[in-house]
Structure 1
Amino acid sequence: MDVQDVDFEELYQGATPMGRKMPWDIGAPQPAVVALADAGEFTGEVLDIGCGLGNNSAFLASRGLSVTGLDGAPSAIEQARARARDVTFAVADATKLEGYEGRFDTVLDSALYHCLSEEQRHQYLAALTRATRPGARLHLFCFSPEVPDAFPAPYLISEANLRETVGRDWTIEKLEPTVYTTSMTPEELRQSVRVLLDADPTGLTGMDTDADGRVLVPVWQLTAVRR
């Protein structure tokens, strides 16, 4: 199986060899998102795009923010609604965002961008521009080329790609490497690669982990302001 062909709706239904444990679902907000919130980086109407099971959305709402969580997978949204009652969740196409024009002041993209093809990325950024107000802030996390070859990443994103695509209508204030916390231990990750992709996981040896033994993946962290 090519990871670019993975059906996220099937994943959220548990209808793949991975079962119901999503590598990106840590049952809590991403630590990097918590750090942004602690720094006051989320204001006004917040969009969590590609919200998945809603961990980040629920956390931001707990900070008193008005949050809308959107995802293309109906099963993800159904489960997110069960987890967080104080967030507006809905199914939406991130490359269109019809009905959300001029609505948001802050956008969180926690690992959606690298799931999109090159054409879709341009459509997505155009949709985000339409859905936000001038001066809105975008916080985006996506896999960088530092990710090991054996890691199941849909696409690895270059710095140049981000600067060209995001920089068209947004002023990039920060673009730097950081890490993204997964739900998997090194052995669970290797087993997932064996089962899901029928691939050799040898190249995953030596990836960094956090204090709880969860694999940390290299990502870009971008902050940009809509012009």
Structure 2
Amino acid sequence: MSKQAQSSKLVNKVYNAAYRVGFSPWDLGPPMPELVDLIEGDDALTPGRALDLGCGAGTKSVYLAQHGWRVTGVDIAPEAIKQARQKATDGAVQVEFVVADLLTDLDGVVTGPYDFLLDFGCAHSFRDEAKAVYARNIATLAAPGATLYLYAFTKGPLSVRPAEIDSDFGPHWELVSAVPGSKRGIPDAGPTWYRMTRRA
């Protein structure tokens, strides 16, 4: 088994167990102001097809569906997807939820193209060359000119640093902006919203 496959298997087990016992501090409740502004603000994106990467329990998938998007949520943890489906039912919205490993070939598992890809803390869980694999894989699902909105820490072991945006995402995605997140903790892990556009 490859190092990458071993890592994915471990992530699956850890996240599945966490959701099963109700420990998911990364599911932070209502969408952050930056996402709300992108979806509802004066210069909001036009609703189309959206892909919620590492969707967890589906809070943001449901939010997008409630604002006119046709949404697919993807997560590696079956327990998270189970909770997400219930959340969509409770919210009276239609969302397609898929159990998938975003580091593997997604052909036939998730079908693009998508106009908007949301990554709220997914990419910063990957290590080393896995970030480049992830950036390439999700690019295959994006329409030309699609928006990727990626929230990540920039300090510490869970991070996506600006240099990694250039090296790992740059071949497929053009950086539009990098804005510090409005909600910060102690210690400050440097949360940042990276907005990118799929290269043609």
The DSSP-based 3-state class of the residue aligned with 1:90 is: strand
How far, CA to CA, are the matches of 2:164 and 2:46 in structure 1? 25
Contact 1:33 1:56 in 2 (8 A): no
Q: 1:134 to 1:92 in 2, by over 3 A?
A: same
Q: Does 1:90 align with 2:90?
A: no
Q: Aligned pairs, how many? A: 180
Match in the other structure for 1:218: 190
Q: Report how far residue 109 of structure 1 moved.
A: 0.2
List structure 1 runs of 4+ shifted beyond 3 angstroms.
none
Choose which of 30, 34, 37 in structure 1 pairs with 2:39.
37
Q: 1:42 to 1:159 in 2, by over 3 A?
A: farther
Match in the other structure for 1:49: 53
Match in the other structure for 1:60: 64
Aligned AA for 1:93?
A: D
Match in the other structure for 1:26: 28
Contact 2:47 2:68 in 1 (8 A): no
Match in the other structure for 1:76: 80
Q: What are the equivalent positions in structure 2 for 1:152-191 lying under 5 Å apart? A: 154-180=157-183
- Indicate the RMSD between aligned Cα atoms, in angstroms: 2.1
Match in the other structure for 1:190: none
Larger radius of gyration between Structure 1 and Structure 2? 1
How far, CA to CA, are the matches of 1:22 and 1:9 in structure 2? 10
The DSSP-based 3-state class of the residue aligned with 2:39 is: helix
Match in the other structure for 2:4: none
How far, CA to CA, are the matches of 2:120 and 2:45 in structure 1? 14
Contact 1:177 1:220 in 2 (8 A): yes
Contact 2:84 2:97 in 1 (8 A): yes
Aligned AA for 1:13?
A: R
- Mean alpha-carbon deviation: is it higher for 33-42 or for 124-133? 33-42
Contact 2:151 2:192 in 1 (8 A): yes
The DSSP-based 3-state class of the residue aligned with 2:181 is: strand
Q: Which runs of 5+ in 2 are unaligned?
A: 1-9
Q: Report how far residue 144 of structure 1 moved.
A: 1.3
Match in the other structure for 2:137: 127
Q: Which runs of 5+ in 1 are unaligned?
A: 15-19, 148-153, 187-203, 209-216
TM-score (norm 1): 0.72
TM-score (norm 2): 0.81
Aligned AA for 1:171?
A: E
Aligned AA for 1:83?
A: K
Identity %: 34
Contact 1:30 1:56 in 2 (8 A): no
Contact 2:179 2:192 in 1 (8 A): yes
Q: Which has the higher contact order (CA 8 A, sep 6+)?
A: 1
Q: Does 1:11 align with 2:23?
A: no
Aligned AA for 1:172?
A: L
